[in-house]
Structure 1
């Protein structure tokens, strides 16, 4: 199953691995999506050649692109990891809640004990929607700690932008997205 997720620093971008892109190509997808994916792969290959990279793993794609639209609203065989609760996310959310002395930690504890995982729309039938949303929004303890202790440094990503791949910082706290072309 192919999966993707929103960029932690800027939710206007989706992150997808190259492996997942190849999995999409091998599945039955609409022509417009296939064309967009082929353009993306050409841009990735060009970027790798120009920057002497052997293999890019993750690529950021704007949510407004045809590829992102297909990922977000396409076939159900493509999993939006932003809407999936796994045990790692539960553990991280519990750590954050405990660190903040947030009473929601008590609501997360049963999910932790039972090692619950599943899709958001299914879990909210069994568990409090507020708890599930908290887990999905607070799923990276290291990121959380770096933000509160001032050691956070925005990362650079390879971003598919205007039919080319560029290195870019996506941090939302930046006034402008910065392009760093070589």
Structure 2
């Protein structure tokens, strides 16, 4: 069974990304299709803006934070990005975290959980697909989009999903397992 990394993209104060990430984590654990499920909060990872002197394709990392990030991503088979929409796009911290690495992302599936107001973060989700496919990742078609997300947050602590959200999460997780099975033979160590 594959390992799943759930990356919480937002790092700003007052964010709700961790609340949504914990819900995705609980859904993934209940799903049962993953050997390990890890919640990866970019605020805790705390990568500086890209400061490696060499292109990530070369894997000549000079900083300890990059080596640790590389090992964490390389050791994970599939991902879910929990991402807000900022000004019709994804946030800079997510792009920065992706840009630190190259080979570590390749031939891995990614599910997208986007959130926001009326558009539910879908514009950010569409934009990030261009980036991940360039890295040879495969975004799964099934996704979770949370419109007017605040209405689903109980007392700022817990996401209270509706049936559509839960069904969408299960469909996305099913597809991550399935696509991972097809992609895993393509990965090089």
TM-score norm. by structure 2 comes to 0.25
**Which of structures 1 and 2 has the bigger CA Rg?**
1
